[in-house]
Structure 1
Amino acid sequence: MRVHICAVGRLRAGPERDLVDDYLSRFDRTGRGLFLGPAQVHEVEDKKGGGMAAEAQLLSRVLPDGAVCCVLDERGRTLSSPDFAGQLAGWRDAGRGDVAFLIGGADGLDPSLRDRADFALSFGRMVWPHMLVRVMLAEQLYRASSILAGAPYHRT
Structure 2
Amino acid sequence: MKITVACIGRAGRAKHDAAQSLLEDYRARLPWPVTIREVEDRRQGGNAADRKAREGALLLAAVPKGAVIVALDEKGRSLSSRQFAETLAGWRDGGEQEVAFLIGGADGHDAAVLDRARLTLSLSAMTWPHLLARMLLLEQLYRAWSLQAGHPYHRD
Question: After superposition, where does 1:15-94 map in structure 2 within 5 Å?
Answer: 15-28=18-31, 37-49=32-44, 51-94=51-94
Rounded to whole Å, the distance in 1 between the matches of 2:127 and 2:25 is: 24
Rounded to whole Å, the distance in 2 between the matches of 1:119 and 1:63 is: 15
Name structure 1 gaps, 5 residues minimum. Answer: 29-36
TM-fit CA distance, 1:130: 2.0
Counterpart in the other structure of 1:102:
102
Rounded to whole Å, the distance in 1 between the matches of 2:35 and 2:20 is: 13
Q: TM-score, normalised by structure 1?
A: 0.89
Counterpart in the other structure of 2:122:
122
| Pairwise CA RMSD | 1.3
- State, as a whole percentage, how many aligned pairs show the same letter: 49
Q: Tell me the SS of whatever aligns to 2:139.
A: helix
Count of aligned pairs: 148
Deviations 1:78-115 (A, max 9, x none): 11111111111111111011110000112221122112
TM-fit CA distance, 1:127: 1.8
Q: Is the 8 A contact 1:77 1:122 kept in 2?
A: yes
Q: TM-score, normalised by structure 2?
A: 0.89
Counterpart in the other structure of 2:14:
12
Q: Is the 8 A contact 1:106 1:129 kept in 2?
A: no
Q: Tell me the SS of whatever aligns to 1:126.
A: coil
Q: Tell me the SS of whatever aligns to 1:153.
A: coil
